[in-house]
Amino acid sequence: MSSIVPMTYAKAKTTPQHPIGSGFGPETNAAEVIRGIDLSGKTAIVTGGYSGIGLETTRTLLSAGAKVVVPGRDLSKATRALAAMPGAITETLDLMDPISLDAFANRFVGSGQALNILVNNAGTMANPLTRDARGYESQFATNHLGHFQLTARLWPALLRAKGARVVSLSSVGHRRAQVNFEDPNFERREYDRWAAYGQSKTANALFAVGLDTIGEPDGIRAFSVHPGGVVTDLIRHMSTEEVRAYGVLDEHGRPIIDPARNMKTPEQGAATSVWCATSRQLEGLGGVYCENCDIAVPVPGGSTELRGVRPWAIDRGFARELWNLSEKLIGISFPN
């Protein structure tokens, strides 16, 4: 197991988990965030960047001149969704399959390209208990471990950029659960699909803390993001009754849009990802959890608010513990 993270933590420069007054807010959309930013000559990877929030993230980065690689499990769906977007390149990638992860990353790294922006956007939510080929619980495997392995394998390309950003989509759903380091894969406890989702979203936030620590000396900065409540394919494992109970649909079954209450359009949902990936306001900063196009406020663990970041999702000790656990489960040392 690598000892790099514990060794580096003591020297890391930390960014306060405190809003910086970005001038944006809940209603801001991705097009507003990207205005005035030129990404010509830059390359981005957006996992799952062919539907929902990911599609809007891809569209926005392309609009600023970036080349965007969109890896996904359903290549035909991705190709159809991106057919009208010149500059988007589709690739096959299954976050639950370590062989697929390595194959994609090896192709990209082997091409000699620099990777300026990596948006770990793809995910699953509240699905019945399933496991990947290694026996790991699917939400933890897809949302966290798959992206951990992908980022590790793409590390040489991120270093080539001489200044890169990695954005991981977390969620206010992290409030539902901390990472259970003793039983992350529900092998000895009863499976709870919402606790599993919350654990994976906490892991996404902690990954940004750990990644920024090791990346900062080489100009690689990491952020985690709560995009807001956006009705996308992510709700496919929820019944109609469940969705209605959350109060996000009107009487006609259409999404209610009210950014002040955390209910957003996909364009508004993509805004914080794009802000973290491109904003000049974040130069020299990293390792923080963001929402509404700003650094989020810390809130107590018992808070019932659908905003802010809970203490267990930004704890540097937990981030170190998750890093070591992830290396052990995947069988890699990162960086190597």
Please state whether the peptide bond connecting residue 335 to the residue before it is cis, i.e. omega within 30 degrees of 0: yes
Please return the burial class of 241, using the count of CB atoms within 10 Å of its CB with bins 0-12, 13-18 and 19+. exposed
Residue 2 corresponds to which amino acid? S
How far apart CA 237 and CA 126 sit, in angstroms, is: 6
Residue 38, CA atoms < 13 Å, CB-side half-sphere: 2
Which residue's entry shows tokens 């035909």?
A: 76
Please give the structure tokens belonging to residue 279: 């904003």
DSSP single-letter state for residue 321: H
Distance in angstroms (rounded) separating the CA atoms of residues 145 and 131 = 12
Q: Which of 9, 50, 136, 197 is catalytic?
A: 197
What count of residues does the chain have? 336
Alpha helices in 82-136 (DSSP H): 98-110
Distance from C-alpha of 99 to C-alpha of 97, rounded to nearest angstrom: 5
Chain-centre distance of CA 130, in angstroms? 21
Residue recorded with tokens 């409030």: 175
Annotated active-site residue 197? The verdict is yes
Q: Which residues are catalytic?
A: 197
